[in-house]
């Protein structure tokens, strides 16, 4: 059964990250401007594009462009491009660790307004390896977003602060202890019972701020958590061995998980820019 490492998008409005709302009449102009430039670039490099399927980059690059175009309707193409690059950095953390674990996986695929996904052909060898894969995305993604802070300080341009804040929030959201989020995979090596807490938190968030993405995460995560919970209760030797993690390793995973949450919270506080509504 294919497993997925997902970087879903939390519900974020432009005003939440310090960006002015995009006027409807300017959306088409902002959308087709960069698309025209990309079309001209593609025409000049047809030979390179023909090689993309062999390099397994067509899915990634194509879905990245579609996502940039989609997000441009609301955020403008510059912020949309930066946001998609941050998503890519996050996903590459998963890809790098999956290769280190010897797990076959697809190239990152971007889904507009949903985030990005890397499909694993199989589960890692044990819960500790799964936790490393899950945490690798937020680790690299958080570093990518944090690198924008000195750029903001050097330029004084609040665009970079808004982009950093959004990237940090994305990685923090993904640390919720619920499958298929990255935090849920980390919990596989610590306390899988925490999946219930994460599921409850997600239900509360979906009630507070109803959103199709949250509902989809609840459906996918609920089914996956239930499947794993039944498998663990069945008591199969292979399944029991999968979740056996040494106390020291469990402590290391927990330290990375909590450390990430603290660092991301501090980073978000640093990059948050208060806006007064007219």
* pLDDT tens per residue, range 100-136: 999 988 888 898 888 888 888 888 889 899 999 999 9
Confidence class for position 28, pLDDT limits 50, 70, 90:
very low
pLDDT above 70 (res 83): yes
Q: For the chain, what is the mean pLDDT?
A: 79
Beta carbons of 138 and 175 less than 8 angstroms apart: yes
Let me know if residue 198 belongs to a domain.
yes
Let me know if residue 278 belongs to a domain.
no
pLDDT above 60 (res 200): yes
Let me know if residue 128 belongs to a domain.
yes
Q: What is the pLDDT of residue 191?
A: 79
Give the DSSP H or E segment for 119: strand 115-120
**Structural domain range at position 257:** 3-271
Highest-confidence range of 1-5, 171-175, 240-244, by mean pLDDT? Answer: 171-175
Give the least confident one: 31-40, 61-70, 180-189, 239-248. 31-40
What average pLDDT score do residues 72-86 get? Answer: 94
Let me know if residue 185 belongs to a domain.
yes
Give all strands of the β-sheet with 109-111 in edge-to-edge order: 3-8, 115-120, 109-111
Let me know if residue 276 belongs to a domain.
no
Let me know if residue 58 belongs to a domain.
yes
Let me know if residue 176 belongs to a domain.
yes
pLDDT above 60 (res 24): no
Nearest residue to 158 via CA among 149, 167, 145: 149
Q: What is the pLDDT of residue 142?
A: 96
Question: Dihedrals φ, ψ of 5, to 5°?
Answer: -105, 115
Nearest residue to 5 via CA among 83, 117, 114: 117
- Percent of the chain clearing pLDDT 90 (strictly above): 39
Residue 29: CA count within 13 A, CB half-sphere? 5
Residue the block writes with tokens 């980073």: 267
Residue the block writes with tokens 């974020």: 12
Let me know if residue 277 belongs to a domain.
no
Confidence class for position 237, pLDDT limits 50, 70, 90:
low
Confidence class for position 149, pLDDT limits 50, 70, 90:
very high
Number of structural domains (the chain) is 1
pLDDT above 90 (res 18): no
């Amino acid at each position: 059964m294919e497993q997925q490492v997902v970087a879903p998008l939390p519900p974020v409005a432009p005003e939440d990250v310090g960006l002015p709302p995009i006027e409807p009449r300017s959306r088409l102009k902002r959308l087709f401007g960069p698309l025209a430039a990309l079309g001209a670039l593609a025409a000049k490099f047809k030979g390179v594009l023909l090689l993309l399927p062999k390099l397994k980059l067509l899915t990634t690059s194509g879905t990245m462009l579609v996502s940039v175009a989609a997000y441009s309707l609301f955020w403008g193409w510059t912020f949309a491009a930066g946001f998609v690059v941050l998503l890519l950095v996050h996903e590459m953390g998963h890809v790098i660790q999956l290769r280190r674990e010897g797990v076959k996986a697809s190239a990152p695929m971007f889904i507009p307004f949903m985030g990005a996904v890397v499909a694993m052909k199989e589960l890692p060898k044990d819960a500790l390896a799964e936790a490393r894969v899950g945490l690798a995305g937020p680790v690299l993604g958080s570093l990518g977003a944090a690198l924008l802070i000195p750029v903001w300080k050097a330029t004084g341009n609040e665009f970079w602060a808004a982009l950093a804040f959004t990237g940090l929030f994305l990685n923090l959201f993904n640390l919720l202890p619920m499958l298929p989020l990255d935090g849920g995979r980390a919990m596989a090596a610590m306390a899988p019972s925490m999946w219930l807490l994460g599921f409850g938190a997600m239900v509360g968030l979906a009630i507070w701020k109803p959103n199709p993405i949250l509902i989809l995460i609840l459906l996918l995560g609920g089914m996956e958590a239930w499947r794993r919970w039944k498998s663990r209760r069945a008591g199969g030797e292979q399944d029991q061995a999968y979740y056996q993690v040494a106390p020291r390793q469990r402590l290391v995973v927990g330290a990375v998980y909590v450390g990430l949450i603290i660092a991301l919270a501090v980073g978000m506080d640093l990059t948050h820019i208060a806006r007064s509504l007219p």
